[in-house]
């Protein structure tokens, strides 16, 4: 196989993330040499045209991938969760309620879910995930507002396009990236479940993912206009957290789908 490269972009407004700037956009792609320019253009455009605003800081980093790549299947089950109420003020509440109910079915206690959401809501702009012990509700990483950024992941070749055609899903890059991340995260045995919604004010669909339940999309999980995102990994605290974080940040993963 050709040598592979990881491209990673992050953009912020009001200075870099380290200087306290607000996170605008991030993105990850793995590509072969001949596609680097095209992928860099995609990431540049993603950061420059984001609905959260114009960045005044951006970094696009290229690195070759020396380690061996792990190949991972997408989560088995793809679902658009039926919501109970579709109108009125209760609309929003129901979206979160559905997400929390799914997490409880997976086995996360309600007090742990509440604690996790409370921890995330302390931060106004996070670019990474918060790791929560699924039994105690304690935060397991020490990354503060930065969180743990899952890196070095992508779909192999045009497997995403094939997958999207099969499931009649629009082959957009947001779903592409969210599915790849959920597949990488939930492939690790320490992950019990993931809860995510976007920090983009105009994007109100989120998801709950786990090996057990697959990728469950939930519409209207937050209010339109809200710039606070959420990415929580509910983790088996008995596992080695350092090697788990190392997997999330450093292990190159390509998502393959045979169809
Ligand atoms: C993000 O935009 O950063 C996360 C989006 C999660 C939901 C993607 C989807 O299934 O529509
Ligand atoms: Mg982001
Ligand atoms: Mg994003
Ligand atoms: Mg975003």
Distance CA 135, CA 146 (A): 23
Tell which one of 79, 175, 185 to mutate to probe ligand 1, the residue whose CB is within 8 A of the most ligand atoms: 175
pLDDT at 88 exceeding the cut of 60: no
Q: Are residues 135 and 193 in the same domain?
A: yes
Q: What residues does 153 pair with on adjacent strands?
A: 253
pLDDT reported for residue 77: 87
pLDDT in tens, 212-228: 899 999 998 999 999 89
User: Residue 61 in contact with residue 10, Cβ under 8 Å?
Assistant: no
Q: Are residues 24 and 134 in the same domain?
A: no
Between 125 and 245, the higher pLDDT residue: 245
**pLDDT classification of 168: cutoffs 50, 70, 90:** very high
Average pLDDT over residues 168-185: 96
Between the CA of 6 and the centroid of ligand 4 the distance, in Å, is: 19
Q: Are residues 40 and 62 in the same domain?
A: yes
**pLDDT classification of 205: cutoffs 50, 70, 90:** very high
pLDDT at 67 exceeding the cut of 80: no
* Residue whose CA lies nearest to ligand 1 atom number 7: 206
With a 6 Å cutoff on the Cβ, whether 208 touches ligand 1 is no
pLDDT reported for residue 86: 53
User: Residue 182 in contact with residue 208, Cβ under 8 Å?
Assistant: no
Distance CA 175, CA 162 (A): 13
pLDDT at 9 exceeding the cut of 70: yes
Between the CA of 13 and the centroid of ligand 4 the distance, in Å, is: 13
Q: Are residues 27 and 116 in the same domain?
A: no
> Six-digit token pair at 192?
């019990």
Q: Of the candidates 246, 232, 242, which has an alpha carbon nearest to the alpha carbon of residue 130?
A: 232
- Domain final position from 46, 66, 86: 66
User: Residue 45 domain-assigned?
Assistant: yes
Tell which one of 11, 47, 194, 196 to mutate to probe ligand 1, the residue whose CB is within 8 A of the most ligand atoms: 196
User: Residue 120 domain-assigned?
Assistant: yes
With a 6 Å cutoff on the Cβ, whether 174 touches ligand 1 is yes
**pLDDT classification of 89: cutoffs 50, 70, 90:** low
Between the CA of 72 and the centroid of ligand 3 the distance, in Å, is: 20
Distance CA 179, CA 198 (A): 13
Distance CA 153, CA 30 (A): 6
**pLDDT classification of 186: cutoffs 50, 70, 90:** very high
Q: Are residues 207 and 233 in the same domain?
A: yes
Average pLDDT over residues 176-198: 97
Q: What is the DSSP string of 52-66?
A: T---SEEEEEEEE--
Q: Are residues 41 and 91 in the same domain?
A: no
Proximal ligand: closest to the CA of 167: 1
User: Residue 24 domain-assigned?
Assistant: yes
Q: Are residues 184 and 107 in the same domain?
A: yes
- Domain final position from 36, 66, 96: 66
Domain that holds residue 9: 4-66
Q: Are residues 197 and 232 in the same domain?
A: yes
Q: What is the mean pLDDT of the chain?
A: 93
pLDDT reported for residue 125: 76
ipTM: 0.86
Q: Are residues 112 and 211 in the same domain?
A: yes
Helices 110-120 and 90-106, packing angle to 10 deg: 120
Percent of the chain with pLDDT over 70: 95
Between 80 and 130, the higher pLDDT residue: 130
pLDDT reported for residue 160: 97
User: Residue 64 in contact with residue 5, Cβ under 8 Å?
Assistant: yes
Task: Give me the number of domains the chain comprises.
Answer: 2
Q: Are residues 239 and 123 in the same domain?
A: yes
Q: Are residues 48 and 84 in the same domain?
A: no
**pLDDT classification of 81: cutoffs 50, 70, 90:** confident
Ligand 1 atom showing the smallest separation from residue 215 Cα? 10
* Residue whose CA lies nearest to ligand 1 atom number 10: 175
User: Residue 59 domain-assigned?
Assistant: yes
Between the CA of 49 and the centroid of ligand 3 the distance, in Å, is: 13
With a 6 Å cutoff on the Cβ, whether 219 touches ligand 1 is no
How many other C-beta atoms lie within 10 A of the C-beta of residue 52?
18
With a 6 Å cutoff on the Cβ, whether 203 touches ligand 1 is yes
Between the CA of 26 and the centroid of ligand 3 the distance, in Å, is: 5
Sheet with 22-32, strands from edge to edge, namely 22-32, 4-13, 57-64
User: Residue 237 domain-assigned?
Assistant: yes
Between the CA of 197 and the centroid of ligand 1 the distance, in Å, is: 6
Distance CA 184, CA 233 (A): 12
pLDDT reported for residue 200: 92
Between the CA of 179 and the centroid of ligand 2 the distance, in Å, is: 14
Q: Are residues 10 and 88 in the same domain?
A: no
pLDDT reported for residue 133: 98
Q: Of the candidates 160, 204, 157, 158, which has an alpha carbon nearest to the alpha carbon of residue 182?
A: 160
Query: In this structure, what are the phi and psi dihedrals at residue 137, rounded to the nearest 5 degrees?
Result: 80, 5
pLDDT at 87 exceeding the cut of 70: no
- Residues near 57 by Cβ (< 8 Å), separated by ≥ 6? 11, 12, 13, 15, 16, 17, 19, 21
With a 6 Å cutoff on the Cβ, whether 86 touches ligand 1 is no
Percent of the chain with pLDDT over 90: 84
């Amino acid at each position: 196989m050709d040598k592979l490269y990881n491209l990673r972009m992050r953009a912020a407004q009001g200075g870099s993330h380290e200087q306290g700037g607000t996170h605008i956009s991030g993105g990850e792609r793995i590509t072969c040499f001949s596609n680097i320019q095209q992928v860099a253009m995609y990431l540049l455009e993603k950061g420059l045209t984001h609905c959260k605003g114009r960045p005044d800081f951006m970094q696009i980093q290229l690195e070759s991938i020396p380690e061996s790549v792990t190949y991972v299947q997408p989560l088995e089950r793809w679902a658009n969760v039926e919501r109970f109420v579709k109108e009125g003020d209760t609309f929003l509440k129901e979206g979160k309620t559905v997400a929390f109910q799914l997490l409880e079915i997976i086995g996360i206690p309600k007090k742990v879910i509440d604690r996790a959401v409370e921890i995330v809501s302390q931060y106004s702009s996070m670019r990474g995930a918060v790791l929560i012990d699924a039994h105690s509700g304690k935060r397991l990483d020490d990354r503060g507002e930065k969180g743990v950024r899952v890196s070095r992941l992508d779909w192999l070749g045009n497997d995403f396009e094939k997958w999207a055609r099969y499931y009649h899903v629009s082959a957009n890059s947001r779903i592409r990236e969210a599915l790849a991340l959920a597949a990488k995260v939930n492939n690790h045995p320490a992950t019990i479940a993931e809860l995510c919604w976007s920090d983009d004010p105009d994007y109100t669909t989120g998801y709950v993912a786990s090996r057990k339940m697959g990728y469950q999309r939930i519409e209207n999980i937050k209010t339109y206009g809200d710039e606070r995102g959420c990415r929580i990994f509910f983790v088996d605290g008995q596992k080695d957290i350092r090697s788990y974080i190392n997997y999330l940040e450093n292990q190159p993963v390509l998502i393959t789908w045979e169809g």
